[in-house]
Amino acid sequence: MTLDADKKSVRTEAAERRNAAFAADPGAGEALARRVIERARALGLGPGVAVSAYWPMREEMDARPLMRELARIECVVALPVVMGKGKPLVFRRWRPETVLRSGPFGLSEPNEGDPEVTPRIVFAPLLAFDRRGHRIGWGAGFYDRTLADLRSRGPALAVGVAYAAQELAHVPAGLHDQPLDWIATEREVTRLSGHSRASGGL
């Protein structure tokens, strides 16, 4: 089986796991936010630290409670903006009062007038993850390109955000797939030490 075919198979299973987890516990985002804040010091979160999160789509883990908590502890919070196929994401400032616009792929994004932010910590959505730090998304490659770009310019920590049920024993990964440093679920927030490539993480 080729890597692409292997990933396609994993996406199908992972989407089913995610959808079942959402149905079983639609309020899991609140628990995840509490766990992240409990580990804030270990993650390097605090006043003035630039972080990115995401506005959830469909059955994704709800990151909005996390965003509110990050704003409460005075992090500089940003959301991703899609700039086009094959391009890294750009991040723009989000505050609790920010009015978002509709973007590509059904995303909710800040407006062009909102200031750009270069995050040091990226809270990234995903379909599946494993303990080696491998992550799989929908296949467009936006987060892999973005993390590669951020890490080429300085330290950037990647934290996968998911339901615990989205963990697999093995997630297929290629040379261009960027590893996660941490995983955050409704059950735990933990460092992943299994990947072999340096991430430039804090």
Task: Give 135-181 pLDDT, tens digit per residue.
Answer: 998 777 899 999 999 999 999 999 999 999 999 999 988 778 899 99
- pLDDT value of position 199: 44
pLDDT digits (tens, 9 = 90+) for 65-85: 999 999 999 999 999 999 888
- pLDDT value of position 202: 40
Contacts of 92 (CB under 8 A, 6+ apart): 78, 79, 81, 109, 110, 111, 114, 115, 116, 117
pLDDT digits (tens, 9 = 90+) for 31-45: 999 999 999 999 999
Taking the CA atoms of the chain, what radius of gyration do you get in angstroms? 16
- pLDDT value of position 1: 59
Q: Pick the closest to residue 30 from 73, 74, 72, 62 (CA basis).
A: 62
- pLDDT value of position 84: 83
Q: Is 84 left (phi over 0), alpha (psi -120 to 50) or beta?
A: left
- pLDDT value of position 71: 98
Q: How far apart are CA 103 and CA 111, in angstroms?
A: 10
- pLDDT value of position 106: 74
- Predicted structure pTM score: 0.90
Question: Which CATH number does 3-189 carry?
Answer: 3.40.50.10420
- pLDDT value of position 149: 95
Write down the mean pLDDT value for the chain: 90
- pLDDT value of position 186: 97
pLDDT digits (tens, 9 = 90+) for 178-201: 999 999 999 999 999 754 444 443
How far from 31 is each of 4, 65, 174, CA to CA, in Å?
A: 34, 9, 32
Mean pLDDT of 2-20: 86
Per-residue three-class SS string for 43-92: HCCCCCCEEECCCCCCCCCCCHHHHHHHHHCCCEEEEEECCCCCCCCEEE
